[in-house]
């Protein structure tokens, strides 16, 4: 699984560790990101994904481990020697400079002549369709335009690596969808290796070539969006991806059966490990009128029509289970519901949360 060898990655992290006092923010992370790849670091807040990004940028010094960019050990280099560009969550556009000066700043500090600076900023700005705003200050343009200006500043000196720190979280929902497509298109076009930090699983799924899912400073799983979605390596990853996320029902695995609260599902060939979790995505469940063999009994909790689909939630023992019905009609349901599992789509995790199948 493409982790941490220097040959197969453009950005390589080896045993990367960062402590803040007694807090371990990043814990022995090994990772290899290929040249030109769009890599998303996904995880809940406080999982260490932003710290990892800041370590790559050189804004934090690692406690242990090495960082390589393009085969060069950059662990002890200051940010300006790494030739990376970063887009910050708040864009960090300087309020006292016009957009022209903001976007041109990386060129200015590199001693590029004023004439060339203006020409190159114009070129990038035209590309991002903000060329008419170059005389304005950041406070005089909209949030979406500020975001483009921040991206333009990252593009202008043609860095080897793009680093994005939740760049869409300050945009409203509609703009965010637009910006998502725009950033993905742009990255394909310029082909610069990109590390993109987000806590929004939909954003990571939609944009990235590969996703690294982080929890508590460790990378729990690396893979393509579909791999991570279809075969989550741990219960945490399973519960983090998808909207709504995977249903997880605690029970026991014994004698080729999963035994849950009030039901048994035959799963030929499943190991008998005792306590376990049954995972099933909301779209892989359907509702039945009567108790069928292997159906899960539950108490109806809520029915939410969402337009193209209907989301039904039910109480199964202690667990809340969601069912996605791809229908516009509201189903007529009593208090008792039966949930039928597509047993080919069942995920099994052991008591520690590790994937069994």
Q: Give whichever of 82 and 199 is closer to another protein, judged by the CB atom.
A: 82
Q: Give whichever of 117 and 348 is closer to another protein, judged by the CB atom.
A: 117
Contacting range for another protein; rule: CB under 8 A; set: 10-18, 23-31, 44-52, 75-83? 75-83
Q: Rule CB under 8 A: is residue 174 a binding residue for another protein? A: no
Q: Give least dist CB 342 to another protein, A.
A: 47
Phi and psi at 328, nearest 5°, equal -90, -15
Which of 105, 164, 240, 349 is close enough to bind another protein by CB under 8 A?
105
Considering only residues 117 to 156 of the shown chain, the ones binding another protein according to CB under 8 A are 137-139, 143, 146, 153
Output Rg (C-alpha) for the chain, integer angstroms: 24
Which of 66, 122, 136, 157 is close enough to bind another protein by CB under 8 A?
157
Q: Rule CB under 8 A: is residue 23 a binding residue for another protein? A: no
Which of 96, 115, 290, 332 is close enough to bind another protein by CB under 8 A?
96
Whose CA is closest to 147, among 179, 118, 181, 178?
A: 179
Helices (H) and strands (E) in the chain, counts: 8, 20
Q: Give whichever of 160 and 218 is closer to another protein, judged by the CB atom.
A: 160
219-238: b (≥16 Cβ within 10 Å) or e: bbbbbebeebbeebbbbbbb
CA-to-CA distance for 215 and 45, rounded, in angstroms? 9
Which of 39, 68, 91, 240 is close enough to bind another protein by CB under 8 A?
91
Contacting range for another protein; rule: CB under 8 A; set: 51-59, 235-243, 316-324, 328-336? 51-59
Q: Rule CB under 8 A: is residue 112 a binding residue for another protein? A: no
Q: Give whichever of 179 and 310 is closer to another protein, judged by the CB atom.
A: 179
Q: Give whichever of 11 and 220 is closer to another protein, judged by the CB atom.
A: 11
DSSP 204: H
Contacting range for another protein; rule: CB under 8 A; set: 4-12, 56-64, 173-181, 250-258? 56-64
Q: What angle do CA 204, 199, 35 make, to 5 degrees?
A: 40
Distance of CA 4 to the CA centre of its chain: 20
Using an 8 Å Cβ cutoff, are 211 and 226 in contact?
no
Q: Rule CB under 8 A: is residue 69 a binding residue for another protein? A: no
Angle subtended by helix axes 99-108 and 114-127, to nearest 10: 120
Which helix (H) or strand (E) covers residue 121, if one does?
helix 114-127
Long-range contacts of 102-109 (CB under 8 A, 24+ apart): 102/138, 102/149, 102/153, 103/134, 103/149, 103/152, 103/153, 103/156, 104/156, 105/153, 106/153, 106/156, 106/157, 107/156, 107/157, 109/80
Q: Give least dist CB 92 to another protein, A.
A: 4
CA-to-CA distance for 42 and 203, rounded, in angstroms? 9
Q: Give least dist CB 106 to another protein, A.
A: 4
Q: Give least dist CB 293 to another protein, A.
A: 58
Interacting residue ranges for another protein, rule: CB under 8 A:
54, 57-59, 78-80, 84-86, 88-97, 105-106, 108-110, 137-139, 143, 146, 153, 157, 163
């Amino acid at each position: 699984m493409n982790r941490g060898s220097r040959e197969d990655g453009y950005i390589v992290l080896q045993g990367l560790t960062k402590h803040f006092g007694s807090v371990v923010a990043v814990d022995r992370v090994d990772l290899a990101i290929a040249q030109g790849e769009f890599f998303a670091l996904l995880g809940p807040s406080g999982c260490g994904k932003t710290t990892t990004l800041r370590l790559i940028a050189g804004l934090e010094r690692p406690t242990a481990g090495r960082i390589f960019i393009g085969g060069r050990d950059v662990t002890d280099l200051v940010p300006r020697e790494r030739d990376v560009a970063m887009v910050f969550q708040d864009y960090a556009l300087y309020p006292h400079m016009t957009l022209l000066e903001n976007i041109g700043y990386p060129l200015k500090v590199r001693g590029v002549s004023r004439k060339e600076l203006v020409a190159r900023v114009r070129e990038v700005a035209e590309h991002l369709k903000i060329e008419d705003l170059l005389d304005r200050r950041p406070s005089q343009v909209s949030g979406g335009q500020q975001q483009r200006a921040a991206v333009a500043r990252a593009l202008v000196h043609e860095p080897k690596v793009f680093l994005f720190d939740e760049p869409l979280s300050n945009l409203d929902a509609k703009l965010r969808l637009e910006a998502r497509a725009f950033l993905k298109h742009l990255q394909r076009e310029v082909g610069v290796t990109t590390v993109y930090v987000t806590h929004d699983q939909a954003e990571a799924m939609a944009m990235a070539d590969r996703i690294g899912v982080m929890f508590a400073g460790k990378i729990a799983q690396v893979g393509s969006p579909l791999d991570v979605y279809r075969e989550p390596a741990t219960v945490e990853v399973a519960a983090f991806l998808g909207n709504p996320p995977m249903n997880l029902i605690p029970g026991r695995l014994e004698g080729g059966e999963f035994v849950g609260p009030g039901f048994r599902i035959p799963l030929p060939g499943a190991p008998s490990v005792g306590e376990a979790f049954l995972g099933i995505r909301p779209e892989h469940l359907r509702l039945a009128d009567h108790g069928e063999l292997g159906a899960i009994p539950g108490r109806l909790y809520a029915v939410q029509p969402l337009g193209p689909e209907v989301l039904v939630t039910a109480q199964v023992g202690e667990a809340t289970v969601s069912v996605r019905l791809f229908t516009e009609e509201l189903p007529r349901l009593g208090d008792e519901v039966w949930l039928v599992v597509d047993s080919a789509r069942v995920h099994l995790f052991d008591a520690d949360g590790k994937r069994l199948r």
